[in-house]
Chains A and B, each alone.
Chain A
Amino acid sequence: MRRLLRGYVFTITGIAVGVAGLVALGAMAERIVRFIEGGDRFVLGQISVAGKGMGMGVGFTAGGLLPASKIREVAAVPGVAGVQAQIMLPLNTSTSQFLTLAQELVLGLDLSTPMPNRHYRELPVRQGRFLRPGDRHVTVLGADFAASRGLRPGGRIMLERTPYTVVGVLERMLTAPDRFAIVSIEDARELWVAKDPMLLNFTLGRGDLNTGAAVGWTLSEDGDTVARRIAATVSGVNVTIPSEISRVLRSSTAFFSALLVGIGALGLVIGGLSLSNTVAAAVFERIREFGIKRALGATDLQLGNEIFGETLAVSLAGGAAGIGLAAALGVSINAYVAARGQHLFLFSPRLVLGALLFSVVLGGAAAAYATVRVVRVSPAEAIRRGT
């Protein structure tokens, strides 16, 4: 087998280059898909409520102030299982006006209440620990946020001129929380006032400074129904209907979805043509050898099995090498851009298995075509053509 693969080294290299291109494109597409799916999963797992109005917060809690009294009213609505007051602030206000997919945010959580999101009961911590009730001036960072600043548990970061100790770093989720700095809601209120001192002119209690709340619902209820019930029962709030916000999110990312389909189709066509052409050419260039074997008594079936088996092995080896090449490239680039808080390639199991399957199926189809063409030729003609 080793000798066989050595004999096909150029073919394997050719296949590997084609598959590597396909896998690299696929890995970038997977990265974007994961981002979109993560957002979708998040919004379908909770009802987001903000105060009536606009412009106070960002992200999924955008809207007016949500006073403590309103949070209590929401909690009293039948079917509501839990309400967690939250504050979302842009880390850098100078860029907060831009619509970006991955803005760096400060997320303040009321730690006295469990996270009500059905799909994110807790955020996965890679290093250190998550926040605990009573924590002050400590933060848990998203993976990209931490990587871009070289932070780990025990490190320090200044937020609005106040030092915060990093107590934990989240697993890379490839969604929005990767770029979060999570603090207690009390700290977030301090940060908010520091960013916007005009808030002190209002006669508000500290507990009224919330940009929104995440609301969970009981098992027997439907999220959309509970959201509509809140909207009908509690006045002066903006309520997102989970399925509607999911639809809005999907339509806002429709361009990316279409782009991914285009990239995927292009990758399949280019990779497929490259692979099938390389495999078929590798078979045709050995036609003389096959003619000799026919002269030595190889039947169509024996020769077909031999060629087919060899080309399948070569396709598999080329596919695996291509995946390895793309992975090496992707990991290197990911490591390079990690310093800027980015992560470009995601080599998911479905992508890797799909690429291997693609290599084998297409390689097999090209081999079958070439085999049929080769065995149809008489031994004398095969020897003549290869001379």
Chain B
Amino acid sequence: MLRAVNLVKSFPGPNAEPVRVIRGADLRVAAGEYVAINGASGSGKSTLLNLIGLLEDPDAGELWIADRRLSGASRTEKSRARGRLIGYVFQSFLLIASLTALENVALAVRYTGGNRAAARRRAQALLDEFGVGHRRDHYPPQLSGGEQQRVAFCRAVLNHPPLLLADEPTGNLDDEQAHVIRDALRARARAGAAVVVVSHRAEPARDADRVLTLIEGVLK
């Protein structure tokens, strides 16, 4: 499902010297596989996930998702791939404050051309499944952290993406809420999605089929 070959990414440093964050990362994840990537804070885990999720362009390397070569693809092709092939769960939820919980979830189909009425029904069903259906008309600031993360998870899986990426998905949650999210990730993998979770903590790795560690910009 996912194949990344020799990904490299640098950022401008304070003395105009580029700081190489990812130094040739290789990664393969099959459909239905749950992979956890561990690493210390600042090791480049989020950068790697951004590269895999097409949120940022690598300086070098190649990337295939669902057998489509997306490194070097046009901006429009990458946008479409983000909408149809990839779901994201972010540590800080990244919900849009001016939209209700239901609207945040349904937003996932606005740009992929799906039926909006059907999407709202599906969004409601997902919110119900994750126990936040009664909060559908609440705005993110009116929700607890755990509720926001569940809404964000619903948004990430609304389009049934074959690749689900999660960046520290339980980093801001208490144990009970973290458990709900970990179960949900595991369930998506069982349903056939390739799941990649990055975290500096050990808990998410407990459920993983495979655990990798990012050390000095290289996956080991």
When each residue 288-316 of chain A gets 1 if its CB lies under 8 Å from chain B and 0 otherwise, what string results? 11001111111111100000000000000
Tell me whether B3 is interfacial, beta carbon within 8 Å: no
User: Do A297 and B98 form a contact, CB below 8 Å, given A302-B111, A378-B55, A380-B56?
Assistant: no
Residues 1-37 of A, flagged 1 when their CB comes within 8 A of B and 0 if not, give 0010001000000000000000000000000000000
Asked whether any CB of chain B lies closer than 8 Å to the CB of A379, the reply is yes
A383 on the B face (CB < 8 A): yes
Is A203's beta carbon under 8 Å from chain B?
Answer: no
A299→B92 contact, CB < 8 A: no
Which residues of the partner chain B approach A296 to less than 8 Å between Cβ atoms?
Answer: 82-83, 107-108, 110-111, 155
Known: A295-B82, A301-B76. A7 touches B98 (CB 8 A): yes
Given the complex of chains A and B, what is the CA–CA distance between A373 and B55 in angstroms?
17
Bin the interface of chain B by size. Answer: 20 to 34
CB-CB under 8 A from B186, the residues of chain A are none
How would residues 370 to 387 of chain A score, 1 for a CB under 8 Å from any chain B CB and 0 otherwise? 000000001111010001
A298 touches B79 (CB 8 A): yes
Identify which of residues 346-387 in chain A touch chain B, using a CB-to-CB cut-off of 8 Å.
Answer: 378-381, 383, 387
Chain B positions 64-98 with a Cβ under 8 Å from a chain A Cβ: 75-76, 79-80, 82-84, 88, 90, 92, 94, 96, 98
Min CB distance A141 to B, Å, is: 57
Q: How far is the CA of A293 from the CA of B76 in the complex (A)?
A: 13
Q: Which residues of A contact B75 (CB under 8 A)?
A: 299-300
Please give, as numbers and ranges, the residues of chain A lying within 8 Å of B177 by CB-CB distance: none
B53 touches A295 (CB 8 A): yes
Q: A379 touches which one: B55, B84, B96, B98 (CB < 8 A)?
A: B55
A interface majority secondary structure: helix
Asked if B57 lies at the interface with its beta carbon under 8 angstroms from chain A, I say: yes
Nearest B residue to A381 via CB reads B56
Q: Nearest-CB distance from B141 to chain A (Å)? A: 14
Q: From residue A57, how far is it (CB to closest CB) to chain B in Å? A: 69
**Least distance between B138 CB and chain A CB atoms (Å):** 15
Whether the pair B57, A378 counts as a contact (CB closer than 8 A) is yes
Tell me the nearest residue of chain A to B46, going by C-beta. Answer: A380
* Alpha-carbon distance between A378 and B94 when the two chains are bound, in angstroms: 16
Give per-residue flags for B52-63: 1 if the beta carbon is below 8 A from chain A beta carbons, else 0.
010111000000
Which of chain B's residues have a CB closer than 8 A to the CB of A380? 50, 55-56
**Beta-carbon nearest neighbor of B77 in chain A:** A299
Q: What's the Cα separation between A34 and B139 when bound, in Å? A: 53
* Docked pose: A387 CA to B112 CA in angstroms: 26
Interface centre among A288, A292, A300, by most B CB within 10 Å? A292
Q: How far is the CA of A93 from the CA of B135 in the complex (A)?
A: 80
B66 to chain A, nearest CB (A): 14
Contact of B55 among A289, A293, A295 (CB under 8 A): A295
Contact among A288, A289, A301, A378 for B56, CB-based, below 8 A:
A378
Q: Are B56 and A300 in contact (CB under 8 A)?
A: no
Chain B nearest CB, measured from A361 CB (Å): 27
Q: Give A295 to B111 CA distance when docked, in angstroms.
A: 10
Find chain B residues with CB under 8 A from A7 CB.
Answer: 98
A293 touches B82 (CB 8 A): no
Q: How far is the CB of B90 from chain A (nearest CB, A)?
A: 8
A297–B94 contact, CB under 8 A? Answer: no
Nearest-Cβ distance from residue A377 to partner chain B, whole angstroms: 10
A residues 75-94 near B (Cβ < 8 Å) are none
Known: A294-B82, A297-B108. 4 other contacts (CB 8 A): A295-B94, A297-B111, A300-B75, A380-B56
Could you show 10 A-B contacts with beta carbons less than 8 Å apart?
Answer: A288-B94, A294-B82, A295-B55, A295-B94, A296-B83, A297-B82, A298-B79, A298-B110, A300-B75, A300-B76
